[in-house]
Amino acid sequence: MLRRRTFLGAALVVAGLTFAPGANAADHPKVVASFSILGDIVKQVGGNLIEVTTLVGANGDAHVYQPTPTDARSVAGADLVIVNGLGFEGWLDRLIAAAGYKGEVTVATGGLEAIKIDEEPEHDDDHGSEEHADHAEKDEHDDEHGHHHGEFDPHAWQSVANIRIYVANVLASLTKMDPANGETYAANARSYLSDLDALDAEIHAAIDTLPESRRKVVTSHDAFGYFGREYGITFLAPVGMSTESEASAGDVAKLIRQIKAEHIPAVFVENISDKRLLQQVARETGAVIGGTLYSDALSEQDEPASTYVKMMRHNYRSLTAALGGS
C-alpha cells in the first residue's frame, strides 16, 4: 500500500490532477517513450509493472514527427517520460511545454560515448563535386545559419553495446519513480542484458565472416554510424543523419559515382524512408537491393522487426545475406 500511495501522489503532482479516470488507471505507473525502439527497451525493464505509451510508433520517422493531441494527453498524464536524446526528438520540448508536463524526463543515452557529427551545411551542393571531403574539421558548435543541427549522431541504438547504457538509465529512472519495485526492475534488466550480450556476440560473429572488400553498403540516410563503428561495415547514404533534408541531385550523382568506383555491392531501403530514390540508385549502378533495414523504428507486430532484438537480428542477417557472409 505504501508503494501505491507514493506512486499515486507523484502522479497527481505530475498530472496536475488531470489524471484520466478509468478502472485501473492508477494501478501502474504511466511511462511515455518517445519512439518504438526505446519503447521496447522500456517495456523489457519495466515488464508488467508499468504501462508504456510510445509516441512515434512502428515504421514511424521520429526526425520529422508531428506530435498529435493524443500525444499531448499521454505526456500530460505521464509519471515519467523517457527519450533518446542527442537531438533525435527535436519536437519534444514543445510537446512537453504544450502538455504542461513538469515531471522527470530521462535521457536514455545519458553518459554514452556519442559519435560527433561533422555535418555539412545544407546549401552547398548543386555544382556537384569533390569539395565534400574537406570539411572534416568543421566546428560543430556553430552553424552559419545560427542554429544547431545537432552535434551528435542520435542513432546510438544501432550498436547493441550502447543498449547496456540505455538499460542502465531506464533502470535507474524506473527505480527512482517506483522504488518499491526496484528489485523486479533490476532482475528484468539483468535478464534482458544477457539476451543483449548473446545478440551482440551473434552479430560480431556473423559480420566477421564478411570479406573486407564487401563491407560497404548504401542506405537511405546516415542511421548506421554506430553499427558501422561497432561491427565494421561502412555505410553511405544520399542524405545525412536526419531525414529532414532531401538529397540534392549533386548528392545522388556523387553517390552513384562512388558506388560504381568502389564496386559497392548492395543498397538497402529503410522501413522509415521512401524507397524510390534508392531503387533509382540501384538501377543506375547495378547494385543489388539487399532488402529493408530497420533504422529508426521497429516494425508492426506481424513484420520481422517488432522488438529491438528481432530488429537487430533482421538487419545483420539481411546484411550478411547481401554481402556474402555466412
Which segment (194-202, 221-229, 245-253, 316-324) binds Zn ion by CB under 5 A? 221-229
Question: Which residues ranging from 257 to 286 are in contact with Zn ion (CB under 5 A)?
Answer: none
Is residue 75 near Zn ion by the rule CB under 5 A?
no
Residue 86 or 174 with smaller CB distance to Zn ion = 86
Q: Are 25 and 19 spatial neighbours (Cβ–Cβ below 8 Å)?
A: yes
| Residue 120 φ then ψ, to 5° | -75, 150
Q: Are 63 and 84 spatial neighbours (Cβ–Cβ below 8 Å)?
A: no
Q: Residue 81 CB, nearest distance to Zn ion (Å)? A: 20
Total residues in contact with Zn ion, by rule CB under 5 A = 2
Is residue 178 near Zn ion by the rule CB under 5 A?
no
Which segment (162-170, 223-231, 247-255, 273-281) binds Zn ion by CB under 5 A? 223-231
The overall longest dimension of the chain from CA atoms, in Å, is: 68
Residue 237 or 281 with smaller CB distance to Zn ion = 237
Q: Residue 273 CB, nearest distance to Zn ion (Å)? A: 9
Residue 184 or 245 with smaller CB distance to Zn ion = 245
Residues in the chain: 326
Residue 61 or 79 with smaller CB distance to Zn ion = 61
Residue 251 or 296 with smaller CB distance to Zn ion = 296
Q: Residue 231 CB, nearest distance to Zn ion (Å)? A: 18
Q: Residue 97 CB, nearest distance to Zn ion (Å)? A: 24
The residue within the footprint of Zn ion, chosen from 296, 297, 309, 312 (CB under 5 A), is 296
The residue within the footprint of Zn ion, chosen from 223, 252, 266, 298 (CB under 5 A), is 223
Q: Residue 295 CB, nearest distance to Zn ion (Å)? A: 6
Q: Residue 158 CB, nearest distance to Zn ion (Å)? A: 9
Which segment (28-36, 98-106, 290-298, 303-311) binds Zn ion by CB under 5 A? 290-298
Residue 54 or 173 with smaller CB distance to Zn ion = 54
Q: Residue 211 CB, nearest distance to Zn ion (Å)? A: 28
Q: Residue 314 CB, nearest distance to Zn ion (Å)? A: 17
Residue 199 or 223 with smaller CB distance to Zn ion = 223
The angle at the Cα of 12, spanning 10 to 18, to the nearest 5 degrees, equals 145
Closest to 172 in 3D by CA, of 84, 108, 113 = 108
Cell 547493441 identifies what position?
A: 160
* Binding residues vs Zn ion (CB under 5 A): 223, 296
